[in-house]
Amino acid sequence: MHLLTPAHWNDYELIDCGAFEKLERFGKYFTIRPEPQAVWDKKLSIQEWEKLAHVRFVSKSSSAGDWEKLKPMPEQWKIDYSNLGLTFRLGLTSFKHVGIFPEQAVNWEYISQSIKELNREKPKFLNLFAYTGGASIAAKAAGADVTHVDSIKQVVSWASENMQLSKFDNIRWVVEDALKFVKREEKRGNKYNGIILDPPAFGHGPAGEKWKLEDNINEMVKGVLNLLDEKHFLILNAYSLGFSSLIIENLLREKAGEHLQTGELYLQAKSGNKLPLGVFGRFKNF
């Protein structure tokens, strides 16, 4: 099993984590957010956290809350991922997110490298449950023909803004339930050289379709595997408490064979602890 964390990133840093919270730096702004996996004690004192932090997210329910401002900062700001030439607009949302999952930089690098190794003009790349488009833009930067699928229109608009900030264009935006899209692509016989899917534990499609990871992931993966071209790579990422990388191994092993890598993504805190942030499986055949 592989344990992977992003390389040094000038505009992002996990400072400390513990007591079900994490202290992060996004550009020049520091945030405190809930983190259910950080069950240990903080390394730094509460005073040190509050001295650094600009905002703290205060949960009002299991899915929403408010930002408490401790120092002046804007509602929106930008950061760069200079390794791949990407720029992201961040914002303080009511769902504790800021518009980026930093651990996913590991997948962006793998996508970029794999597309270049394919050594073909405009390989087709599909991003499912695509959020604000980090993987989509990384694929575009590497030369792919990209299709980006997410069920929330506002999030797709955010991804389009990130594409423009990164000075790229012509990503295909699809606002649709991911499973419905995959089934339709199967019927059409469409194929892709690269696919990433990062499904949530729970979710809803634009027409109220229900997604529950353990109920739907097997059907989804079988459909996605049918969309792979002869030369291909695939990443399956999952962030859900209690979801084992062995599940991903069982889902992908028959197709991937000896090429399969599985493991965990994590962020290394400056204070010392490692924060687990999901399991992954990936493979390539070319």
Paired tokens of 182: 């995959």
Residue 39 has pLDDT above 80, yes or no: yes
pLDDT tens-digit readout, 18-38: 999 999 999 999 999 999 999
Residue 61 has what pLDDT? 83
Residue 245 has what pLDDT? 94
Task: Detail the DSSP E strand segments found in the chain.
Answer: 2-4, 12-18, 21-26, 29-34, 55-59, 65-69, 76-81, 86-91, 124-128, 145-150, 172-175, 192-197, 202-204, 210-212, 228-238, 261-268, 274-285
Residue 215 has pLDDT above 80, yes or no: yes
d(CA 266, CA 277) in angstroms, rounded, equals 5
Q: CB–CB of 143/122 below 8 Å? A: yes
Residue 284 has what pLDDT? 97
Q: Are residues 65 and 180 in the same domain?
A: no
Q: Are residues 24 and 116 in the same domain?
A: no
d(CA 168, CA 236) in angstroms, rounded, equals 25
Q: Are residues 44 and 184 in the same domain?
A: no
Residue 204 has what pLDDT? 85
Residue 87 domain flag: no
pLDDT tens-digit readout, 219-243: 999 999 999 999 999 999 999 878 8
Q: Are residues 270 and 223 in the same domain?
A: yes
pLDDT tens-digit readout, 68-105: 999 999 999 999 999 999 999 999 999 999 999 999 99
Residue 242 has what pLDDT? 80
> Which of 40, 74, 108 marks a domain boundary?
74
- Stretch 206-222: mean pLDDT: 91
Q: Are residues 48 and 130 in the same domain?
A: no
Residue 33 domain flag: yes
What residues are paired with 261 via a beta bridge? 282
Residue 44 has pLDDT above 90, yes or no: yes
Residue 202 has pLDDT above 90, yes or no: no
pLDDT band at 203 (very low <50, low <70, confident <90, very high): confident
| Average pLDDT taken over every residue of the chain | 96
Residue 269 has what pLDDT? 98
d(CA 89, CA 190) in angstroms, rounded, equals 32
d(CA 22, CA 34) in angstroms, rounded, equals 6
Residue 82 domain flag: no
Residue 65 domain flag: yes
Residue 91 domain flag: no
Alpha helices (H) in 94-228, listed in sequence order:
105-118, 134-141, 153-165, 178-188, 213-225
- Stretch 175-181: mean pLDDT: 96
Paired tokens of 126: 């599909």
- Stretch 133-156: mean pLDDT: 97
Q: CB–CB of 228/182 below 8 Å? A: no
Q: Are residues 125 and 239 in the same domain?
A: yes
Q: Are residues 257 and 150 in the same domain?
A: yes
- Stretch 242-246: mean pLDDT: 90
pLDDT tens-digit readout, 252-271: 999 999 999 999 999 999 99
What's the whole-model pTM score?
A: 0.95
What SS3 class is residue 21?
Answer: strand
Domain range for 20: 2-74
Residue 93 domain flag: no
The phi-psi region of residue 118 (left if phi > 0; otherwise alpha if psi is between -120 and 50; otherwise beta) is alpha
How many domains, the chain?
2
d(CA 79, CA 70) in angstroms, rounded, equals 21
Q: Are residues 29 and 136 in the same domain?
A: no
CATH of the domain at 196: 3.40.50.150
CATH of the domain at 50: 2.60.40.1180
Residue 127 has what pLDDT? 98
pLDDT band at 208 (very low <50, low <70, confident <90, very high): confident
The phi-psi region of residue 126 (left if phi > 0; otherwise alpha if psi is between -120 and 50; otherwise beta) is beta
